[in-house]
Structure 1
């Protein structure tokens, strides 16, 4: 009963704070949601920790709380009672907790207000956040396709980063070393087409296919950003609600057709 209450709390938090991943989880098979919702709720907690306070020290303390929680899960011993940390322990286990450490450490730069120094620095941040999260989810679902999943998760991290640019600017951050539309467009086009990424040539297994549902909006977001880089700065990448829902429906239908 307590686990079900925790799972519902995780799902509700993801629905409020990360609606795209909530929809992806709801499109997944029901048993997979018991894994996905705690992982996505954890991500929500660490992603927003730097932004719920204007005090960097308090933000770092919030992140340290999660680092300590991962330590407890990784040790295989007692885990603190918390509506996200407790089901997360069951979802990922000790090895999965170790995998999630970079997702916490990467957010420390957000807490400090640090901007990416160059393209390589940004790529490392996206890999540690988006790539780590998707791989932790896929692994917990039984996947062995680490290179593929991490690559797609990093692309998802980039797409979400593009969506966040206007809010980051509002907070006096500089999301890209060069904020000109031309430079942003070049950064987007360097990822296209996604199928050219050699890591994505590997065929996904069942666990990867479920975890990869969270990337359902990536092609459309990148395509729009490539056509109109100014839309990144203006916050016009979201697209229509109807189009977004259709995209997820088609992605989920493809999942069910595959063996």
Structure 2
């Protein structure tokens, strides 16, 4: 049995979905809440994708040095390669359900490989290509989630634009915490307001073609529910971008009920 370095316990198939749900609820509660808007039979796959993303995102934070982060990420790269090579998935609480999710929705390997490659840059300060990083992290994750929920064809470029907008918004909200941890992802000379305007342009493109996205894909887009608010404020030069929890949750509930993911 192959073990992941310094990671969670293994789980049997029967306990995997519960373990994955608990992992996401603790580590990424915002995405956990949005997954609850999906039909019950679609939730395990969404939560598995979010757990995979969480494992990648944690790599550079839990490792004591860059080499250990690289070892963790290479473990995940090898696990993904084995799944696509048709080998039995590693006995791990995320890898086993990930293999099932990939098979069920015929998810492209490229999206996973790009996510892992982008996370190798997490220790870089600053990032050389901020929008490329956002596209390959938040954008790829949103596309995987949307594909899992049945989005295809002309819907995918719309999802990608919204994923870019949501990813830029999330990065801008995270800047104070990243700075407190000694990270400065934005290169010198890149004004956060200018980055926010890039995000708004992507949001406008997504909004213009929102009719291409099936309503069944709504839960995949809900993680971006704060994008429009955040980007407008950042473009106006505001630096405190976190809404009050009651405002954020109220906005999420409204979007889930109305399907208006783009506002």
Q: Please tell me the TM-score bracket, short chain as reference.
A: 0.7 to 0.9
d(CA) in 2 for partners of 1:201, 1:33:
26
The offset of 1:193, in angstroms, is 5.9
Q: What is aligned with 1:30? A: 40
- In structure 1, the partner of 2:3 is none
TM-score, normalisation: structure 2: 0.85
1:228 Cα deviation after fit:
4.0
Which residue in the other structure is 1:10 paired with?
A: 20
* CA RMSD between the two structures: 2.2
Deviation string 1:144-183 (CA, Å, 9 cap, x unpaired) is: 0221112211222111111221222223322212368xx2
1:138 and 2:166 correspond: no
Shift of residue 191 of structure 1?
2.8
Give 1:188's aligned residue: 196
Q: Which residue of 2 aligns with 1:74?
A: 84
Conserved 8 A contact 2:159-2:221: yes
Counterpart position of 2:177: 167
Query: Larger deviation: 123-132 or 183-192?
Result: 183-192
| Closer, same or farther: CA 195–134 of 1 in aligned 2, 3 Å | closer
Q: Which moved more, 1:98-107 or 1:42-51?
A: 98-107
In 2, the alpha carbon distance for the partners of 1:133 and 1:207 equals: 17
Counterpart position of 2:4? none
1 CA distance for matches of 2:131 and 2:75?
26
Moved over 6 A (4+): none
Instruction: Tell me, yes or no, if structure 1 residue 127 matches structure 2 residue 135.
Output: yes
TM-score norm. by structure 1 comes to 0.86
**In 1: Cα distance, 2:59 partner to 2:208 partner:** 31
TM-superposed CA distance for 1:212, in Å, is 0.9
More helix by share: 1
* Paired residues of 1:35 and 1:141 also in contact (CA < 8 A): no
For 1:65 and 1:172, locate their aligned partners in 2 and report how far apart those are by CA, in whole Å.
26
| Paired residues, number | 245
- Give the equivalent residue in structure 2 for 1:230: 239
Secondary structure at the counterpart of residue 110 of structure 1 = coil
Comparing 86-95 with 138-147, greater Cα deviation is found at 86-95
Gaps of 5+ in 2: 1-10
